[in-house]
């Protein structure tokens, strides 16, 4: 296969745009305002889970006008079928002592809910002043564990989506919109 054909195939798998750059920008602005109003004057720590949420985090933190700090975690959950095989494995942890902060988790997508459920339980055990979860996307039809975000910007059907930080095989994270991925 020559390089040109490879590129055509790569682009063909971007099936259709589900959420445009403009729609995302508007929703992010609203989320920033919500954070401003909710935590006005209090010490907040925005925590995102790598890698998927890095673009959303970059935009949300710039939509917030009250003082805030940012932190990153890398988490992996291990399961035997649908049964949790143990606690979430943190491959990169926060360097802040979160007991001094109102923590706001900035997540890209909630699918089965397993990862976030584990991360939330783990962070709660560290006694933050409070803990909220904001997710860009929610696929409620795919839920395996009962988990609900405090704020969800877009609810989507059971599509595999790419772009705006979300990947398929580590590609497409740099698309500025959310698209459905398809063969
Ligand atoms: P959960 O533990 O099943 O909720 O997994 C959530 C994680 O799976 C997200 O943080 C994403 O990294 C990944 N994920 C779930 N659905 C999609 C999708 O449609 N596109 C890309 N990544 C996804
Ligand atoms: Mg993720």
User: Left if phi > 0, otherwise alpha if psi is -120 to 50, otherwise beta: which for 135?
Assistant: beta
Q: What is the pLDDT of residue 85?
A: 55
Kindly give the distance from the C-alpha atom of residue 115 to the centroid of ligand 1, in angstroms, as a whole number: 9
Burial class (CB in 10 A: 0-12, 13-18, 19+), 146: exposed
Kindly give the distance from the C-alpha atom of residue 65 to the centroid of ligand 2, in angstroms, as a whole number: 25
Catalytic residues: 111
Average pLDDT value over all residues in the chain: 92
Of ligand 1's listed atoms, the one at least distance from the Cα of 160 is 19
Q: What is the pLDDT of residue 89?
A: 83
Distance between CA atoms of 122 and 120, rounded to whole angstroms?
A: 5
Distance between CA atoms of 44 and 30, rounded to whole angstroms?
A: 18
Residue 155 CB coordination number (10 Å): 12
Q: Tell me: the pLDDT tens digits for 38-79?
A: 998 899 999 999 999 999 999 999 999 999 999 999 987 665
Q: Tell me: the pLDDT tens digits for 25-49?
A: 999 999 999 999 999 889 999 999 9
Of ligand 1's listed atoms, the one at least distance from the Cα of 168 is 21
Kindly give the distance from the C-alpha atom of residue 37 to the centroid of ligand 2, in angstroms, as a whole number: 27
Predicted confidence band at 86 (pLDDT cuts at 50, 70, 90)?
A: low
Q: Which residues line ligand 1 (CB under 6 A)?
A: 52, 108-116, 160-161, 166
């Amino acid at each position: 296969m020559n390089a040109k054909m490879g590129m055509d195939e790569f682009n063909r798998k971007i099936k259709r745009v589900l959420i445009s750059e403009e729609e995302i920008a508007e929703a992010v602005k609203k989320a920033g305002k919500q954070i401003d109003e909710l935590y006005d004057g209090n010490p907040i720590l925005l925590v995102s889970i790598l890698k998927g949420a890095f673009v959303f985090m970059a935009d949300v933190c710039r939509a917030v006008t009250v003082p805030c700090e940012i932190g990153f975690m890398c988490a992996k959950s291990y399961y035997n079928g649908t049964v949790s095989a143990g606690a979430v494995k943190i491959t990169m942890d926060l360097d802040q002592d979160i007991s001094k902060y109102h923590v706001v988790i900035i997540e890209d997508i909630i699918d089965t809910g397993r990862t976030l459920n584990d991360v939330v339980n783990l962070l709660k055990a560290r006694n933050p002043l409070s803990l909220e979860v904001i997710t860009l996307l929610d696929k409620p039809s795919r839920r395996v564990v009962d988990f609900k975000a405090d704020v969800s910007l877009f609810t989507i059907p059971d599509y595999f989506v790419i772009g705006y930080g979300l990947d398929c095989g580590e590609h497409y994270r740099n698309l500025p919109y959310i698209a459905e991925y398809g063969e």
